[in-house]
Chain A
Amino acid sequence: MTSTDTRTSQGIGQSAPRPDGTLKVTGEFAYSSDLWLEDMVWGVTLRSPHPAARIRSIDLGPALAMPGVLAVLTHEDVPGEKHHGLELRDQPVLAVDRVRYQGEPVALVAADHPERARRAAAAIVVDYEVTEAVTDARRAAFDPACPKVGERGNILRHQPVRVGSVFEAPVVVTGEYEVGMQDQAFLGPESGLAVPAEDGGVDLYVATQWLHVDRDQIAPCLGLPAEKVRVSLAGVGGAFGAREDLSMQVHACLLALRTGRPVKMVYNREESFFGHVHRHPAWMRYEHGATRDGRLIYVKAEILLDGGAYCSSSPAVVGNAASLGAGPYEVGNVEIDAYGVYTNNPPCGAMRGFGAVQACFAYESQMDRLAEACGLSPVELRIRNAVSQGSRLITGQLIDSPAPLAGMLAELEAFPLPAASDGDLRELPGGVAQTTHGEGVRRGVGYGVGIKNICFSEGFDDYSTARVRLELAGGEPHVLVHTAAAEVGQGLVTVQAQVARTELGVERVTVAPADTTVGSAGSSSASRQSYVTGGAVKTACEAVRERLAELAAAHPGLTTTALLQRFGPVEETREYRHRPTFPMDPSTGQGDSHTQLALCVHRAVVDVDVELGLVKVVELAAVQDVGKVLNLLALEGQIHGGSAQGLGLALMEEVLVADGRLRNPSFTDYLIPTILDMPPMKVSILENPDPAAPYGLRGAGEPPTLSTTPAVVAAVRAATGRALSRVPIRPEHIALT
């Protein structure tokens, strides 16, 4: 086990404070929407009101005639590639001749005032011929008569997993499950500032998750070489996957290059709901077969994920749902088919948990059904089937680092249970809205287990780059760390500095703002940045240390300070890659597709008003193995936050879509948990190191989001006796079914 370095006070293992924490809590943090230049103008987007339509014509005249309007652009004004996309460049910068989802960008306006820009956008006349919207994912996938949403077929990926041939068992449980469309609901809606440069290029300041993949999509659309598009990270509120795809990036740059003025674009919350991808809604059919003593014989599943109008990262989401579709359990016979499909619903893509969340709700619900069928406790059934180091995933991949699931479950079950409510309204379902003084309230306890792949999978060349410079500042050693890694609220800036302090033994560390003048850091996604950018900073520090050692060897007797004084700063840049991964076999799903796997287990205790269907989560308890704690405070925050997001999916968070139209694009009706919904947590953190990872760490951001949802639902089932096969649970599902 890697020992904690205590040479510096704020190194690895210490709860170093984050530089943005106080600023955010006091409202002083500068978000991307706070960017300001004296001569800037404002850009706005005209969006399609229809989920599916042909565009017959667009009349820009009325908008161009309005005072203060500097530019009005359509797809004809996109000088380069007309499309962008993360995996497949299928999403138009601006709609060309069709719109495929409600909210698709059609035209852009730049004006000297945001209100003038909005009025001008409203004055653009678009002649739409409304066409049939494909909004049923099952029909899109399997009905040959269904219209095609895009140029390709409607199935954007089908990933089977096939293992073994025994599909009969003494005990069989089946279930159909549904997961609603969840929104990332990050702070700080999409925004940024594009500044035209003298070299004909553009400097973009934007809240995003991956600067380089933004640039690599923006530059071709602008018809510019990559080096003329410089992207810097502006203040990010949160991301959770919603900033992986482009939103206003190309739009702002187009307007800036056209007008020759800096262009600021800021979505409001409503536009934000149309401006980013959501979590894929899922429809899942599962069948589990087991021996009478509860040992899994087979798992069959069909997992249908609605990708909406464009590809985004749907193929990778499908890969996760398939490869992790049976959960962290040993099972010898598997027949899983995971599908991602195109529809005219809002595009779906990355969100914390990324395909693993949906499957987890289904397989954990199945494990509870199986436990009941076998007369076992939910924990005992899971322990009997739990993977451990040396097990194989259903993809055939060997789990070659610690995976102590059985022990984690035993520890979780042994946590003391919370006391009964003392009758304070705030502790009861409904809170101070006073729906009960205790009448109809029943307590339930439930368990959930989740397994998440860490870092990018399926053969992706997943790396990060760090530049580390050791120099003298005011006569004292100082370290400058520069990466392009996006701080999205997870605490990465703090961790980079901690790594540098530990590796170089220097207290004073500055983390430079993230931009594209250094190599790619990859995405702040997939719980991967501590691993990959942490690894890159560590490797670059080691290289600096080696150079210093060489100098010291050549000049014995000189201190570090003296060496830096004589020879100047020591700077090294390094790329860091995790162990390679491999594609899944297209017909069997077999292959070492993941580099690291992480486990989290949750217990939920709920009080449910069974007559009104209202739920108060009394306590969440979790055990998570993180390999190595880098920053306990930040890590606990990740576990609390991930759990809150999982609780939200279980009980309230859903983007409601009817006939391709969003019905609740605001925080008035898209509800996220408040402090009276999210209970106190008991958390136990294990440190069983992964020898392949820097410091033995294991990515930690996503796993808690997986296991919370099934745990909460299981607890509500225990309290109510209802089957509850859909999340989020709505009060009528409890009170009226």
Chain B
Amino acid sequence: MAFLRPTTWPEALAAKAELPGAVPIQGGTDVMVEINFDVRRPEALLDLTRVAELARWSETGGRLRVGAGVPYSRVIGELGDRLPGLAQASRTVGSPQIRNRGTVGGNLGAASPAGDSHPPLLAGGAVIEVESAARGVRMIPAEEFYLGVKRSALEPDELIRAFHAEPATGPQYFSKVGTRNAMVIAVCSFALALHPAERRVGTGIGSAAPTPLRARAAEEFLAAELDWAAGLAPAGLAPGVLARFGELVSEAAAPIDDVRGTAGYRRHALAVMARRTLTWAWNDYRKAREQCA
């Protein structure tokens, strides 16, 4: 197995063009596990840890660009205020050691339906920046990135360079069910983001379909039901709104029975998480409105 170690982005793209079978590796928290368990035998590993720019993030013109090599621990520590949903999801990944190594870029590359980054990226409307030596940059909305179980829109000669997202303008929550209280792969997960400026709702469902996905009907229902202007109203959300939102999220999923849980439980848990995250988000929104008033 060849081990390629480019130090610049053009070198990395050239290497990938020359050897499309090379598997990119950042923290190795996913790739190395698969190699150690003999799940895959790539012809080459393309180590991206020497490409320094991938470990940087920047904010320009009100948009964040986060390099594919920024580890979860830095997402939590440096971007927690701007990307709270993703930071909450990052906090549920593995152990502290894993969070020091693992990256959002790696999570995207693996494109597992259970990846913890995906629901908040979907809910937050993130866009993935990918690039090839031959065709240059493509900007792929998160929603179009996931094509199947561990299959993404990435072409064999492309690498993930960064993801782009707007800093949160409203409350964001991530919630994940696992069968132990830490270091667990999602049985199912849910992310919610309120975008008050556009009076829009973002959602992301994890581990409950062949790909991570948005609950579009739920988003539209909620965006229409929420009284965005009158967040100051004394009552919270009508129970009917909560229940219907939960149902719509649950209906958006296409879960299966597997070793981690049953389809029925996943649908049930998604509805519960949808109701709870919405309650928290709406309470935050109202509080923020009260403080502004």
A residues adjacent to B (C-beta < 8 A): 118, 268, 270, 426, 429-437, 439-440, 611-614, 616, 651-652, 656, 663-664, 666, 668-669, 671, 673-677, 730-732, 735-736
Q: Are A435 and B37 touching (Cβ within 8 A)?
A: no
Shortest beta-carbon distance, B185 to chain A, in Å?
Answer: 6
Q: Are A612 and B269 touching (Cβ within 8 A)?
A: yes
**Which residues of A have CB within 8 Å of B181?**
426, 429-431, 433, 614, 616, 674, 676-677
Q: Which residues of chain B (243-289) have a CB below 8 Å from chain A?
A: 259-262, 264-265, 268-269, 272-273, 276, 279-280
| Top-6 shortest CB links A-B | A431-B181, A732-B265, A433-B176, A676-B182, A676-B181, A433-B92
B interface secondary structure, majority: mixed
**Which residues of A have CB within 8 Å of B273?**
435, 612
**Which residues of B have CB within 8 Å of A677?**
180-182
Question: In this complex, what residue of B is CB-closest to A672?
Answer: B180
Is B151 an interface residue, CB under 8 A from the partner? no
| In the complex with contacts A674-B182, A674-B183, A677-B180, A731-B261 CB distance below 8 A | yes
Interface-centre pick from B36, B260, B269 (highest chain A CB count, 10 A): B269
Interface size on B, residues (CB 8 A): 35
Is B88 an interface residue, CB under 8 A from the partner? yes
**Which residues of A have CB within 8 Å of B180?**
651-652, 671, 673-674, 676-677
Q: Are A436 and B276 touching (Cβ within 8 A)?
A: yes
**Which residues of A have CB within 8 Å of B276?**
435-437, 439
CA distance A141 to B111 in the complex (A): 46
**Which residues of B have CB within 8 Å of A669?**
185, 259-260
Is B178 an interface residue, CB under 8 A from the partner? yes
Question: In this complex, what residue of A is CB-closest to B1?
Answer: A115
Taking A432-B88, A669-B259 as known contacts, 20 extra A-B pairs with beta carbons closer than 8 A to each other, sorted by chain A number, are A270-B37, A433-B176, A433-B182, A433-B184, A434-B174, A435-B175, A437-B276, A611-B272, A612-B272, A651-B179, A656-B259, A674-B181, A677-B181, A677-B182, A730-B179, A731-B187, A731-B265, A732-B262, A736-B264, A736-B265
Interface-centre pick from A431, A440, A666, A675 (highest chain B CB count, 10 A): A431
| In the complex with contacts A611-B272, A735-B268, A735-B269, A432-B175 CB distance below 8 A | no
B residues adjacent to A (C-beta < 8 A): 33, 36-38, 88, 91-92, 173-185, 187, 189, 259-262, 264-265, 268-269, 272-273, 276, 279-280
- The contact of A437 among B33, B92, B176, B280, by CB within 8 Å, is B280
CA distance A431 to B181 in the complex (A): 5
Shortest beta-carbon distance, A663 to chain B, in Å?
Answer: 5
**Which residues of B have CB within 8 Å of A651?**
179-180
| In the complex with contacts A437-B280, A664-B259, A731-B179 CB distance below 8 A | yes
| In the complex with contacts A668-B185, A732-B265, A430-B177 CB distance below 8 A | yes
Shortest beta-carbon distance, A267 to chain B, in Å?
Answer: 12
| In the complex with contacts A612-B269, A731-B261, A434-B176 CB distance below 8 A | yes
Q: Are A433 and B178 touching (Cβ within 8 A)?
A: yes
- The contact of A432 among B91, B187, B269, by CB within 8 Å, is B91
**Which residues of B have CB within 8 Å of A732?**
261-262, 264-265, 268
CA distance A668 to B258 in the complex (A): 13
CA distance A151 to B268 in the complex (A): 48
**Which residues of B have CB within 8 Å of A434?**
88, 92, 173-176
**Which residues of B have CB within 8 Å of A432?**
88, 91-92, 182
CA distance A675 to B91 in the complex (A): 16
Q: Are A268 and B179 touching (Cβ within 8 A)?
A: no
CA distance A731 to B88 in the complex (A): 22
**Which residues of A have CB within 8 Å of B38?**
118
**Which residues of A have CB within 8 Å of B178?**
430, 433
Shortest beta-carbon distance, A615 to chain B, in Å?
Answer: 8
Shortest beta-carbon distance, A659 to chain B, in Å?
Answer: 14
CA distance A426 to B265 in the complex (A): 23
**Which residues of B have CB within 8 Å of A730?**
179, 261
**Which residues of B have CB within 8 Å of A675?**
182
Q: Are A671 and B37 touching (Cβ within 8 A)?
A: no
CA distance A673 to B183 in the complex (A): 10
**Which residues of A have CB within 8 Å of B184?**
433, 671
CA distance A614 to B259 in the complex (A): 17
Q: Are B177 and A612 touching (Cβ within 8 A)?
A: yes
Shortest beta-carbon distance, B247 to chain A, in Å?
Answer: 15
Question: In this complex, what residue of A is CB-closest to B92?
Answer: A433
CA distance A614 to B175 in the complex (A): 13
**Which residues of A have CB within 8 Å of B264?**
732, 736
CA distance A243 to B92 in the complex (A): 34
CA distance A133 to B68 in the complex (A): 48
Question: In this complex, what residue of B is CB-closest to A432?
Answer: B91
Question: In this complex, what residue of A is CB-closest to B260?
Answer: A669
CA distance A439 to B182 in the complex (A): 19
**Which residues of B have CB within 8 Å of A429?**
181
**Which residues of A have CB within 8 Å of B182?**
431-433, 674-677
Shortest beta-carbon distance, B39 to chain A, in Å?
Answer: 10
Question: In this complex, what residue of A is CB-closest to B91?
Answer: A432
Shortest beta-carbon distance, B45 to chain A, in Å?
Answer: 15
CA distance A433 to B178 in the complex (A): 8
Shortest beta-carbon distance, B176 to chain A, in Å?
Answer: 4
CA distance A429 to B178 in the complex (A): 10
Question: In this complex, what residue of B is CB-closest to A728?
Answer: B179
Shortest beta-carbon distance, B266 to chain A, in Å?
Answer: 9
CA distance A671 to B33 in the complex (A): 17
Shortest beta-carbon distance, A427 to chain B, in Å?
Answer: 10
Shortest beta-carbon distance, A408 to chain B, in Å?
Answer: 29
Question: In this complex, what residue of A is CB-closest to B116?
Answer: A433
CA distance A557 to B290 in the complex (A): 94
Shortest beta-carbon distance, A46 to chain B, in Å?
Answer: 14
**Which residues of A have CB within 8 Å of B185?**
668-669
**Which residues of A have CB within 8 Å of B88?**
432, 434
Shortest beta-carbon distance, A272 to chain B, in Å?
Answer: 12
Question: In this complex, what residue of B is CB-closest to A617?
Answer: B181
**Which residues of A have CB within 8 Å of B91?**
432
CA distance A730 to B266 in the complex (A): 12
Q: Are B177 and A433 touching (Cβ within 8 A)?
A: yes
Q: Are A268 and B177 touching (Cβ within 8 A)?
A: no
**Which residues of A have CB within 8 Å of B175?**
433-435
Question: In this complex, what residue of B is CB-closest to A733?
Answer: B265
Shortest beta-carbon distance, B246 to chain A, in Å?
Answer: 11
18 contacts between A and B (CB under 8 A): A268-B36, A268-B37, A426-B181, A429-B181, A431-B181, A433-B178, A435-B276, A439-B279, A612-B177, A614-B179, A616-B181, A671-B179, A674-B182, A674-B183, A731-B265, A735-B265, A736-B264, A736-B268
**Which residues of B have CB within 8 Å of A439?**
276, 279
Question: In this complex, what residue of B is CB-closest to A270?
Answer: B37
CA distance A347 to B88 in the complex (A): 42
| In the complex with contacts A612-B272, A731-B265, A735-B268, A652-B179 CB distance below 8 A | yes
**Which residues of B have CB within 8 Å of A616?**
181
CA distance A83 to B91 in the complex (A): 51
Question: In this complex, what residue of B is CB-closest to A437?
Answer: B280
CA distance A664 to B181 in the complex (A): 19
Shortest beta-carbon distance, A438 to chain B, in Å?
Answer: 10
**Which residues of A have CB within 8 Å of B36?**
268
CA distance A663 to B261 in the complex (A): 13
Interface-centre pick from A426, A437, A664 (highest chain B CB count, 10 A): A437
Shortest beta-carbon distance, A633 to chain B, in Å?
Answer: 26
**Which residues of B have CB within 8 Å of A612?**
177, 269, 272-273
Shortest beta-carbon distance, B255 to chain A, in Å?
Answer: 12
Shortest beta-carbon distance, A650 to chain B, in Å?
Answer: 12
**Which residues of B have CB within 8 Å of A118?**
38
Interface-centre pick from B88, B181, B260, B279 (highest chain A CB count, 10 A): B181
Q: Are B92 and A731 touching (Cβ within 8 A)?
A: no
**Which residues of B have CB within 8 Å of A430?**
176-178, 181
Shortest beta-carbon distance, A273 to chain B, in Å?
Answer: 12
CA distance A676 to B38 in the complex (A): 31
CA distance A673 to B179 in the complex (A): 10
CA distance A628 to B262 in the complex (A): 48
CA distance A735 to B265 in the complex (A): 8
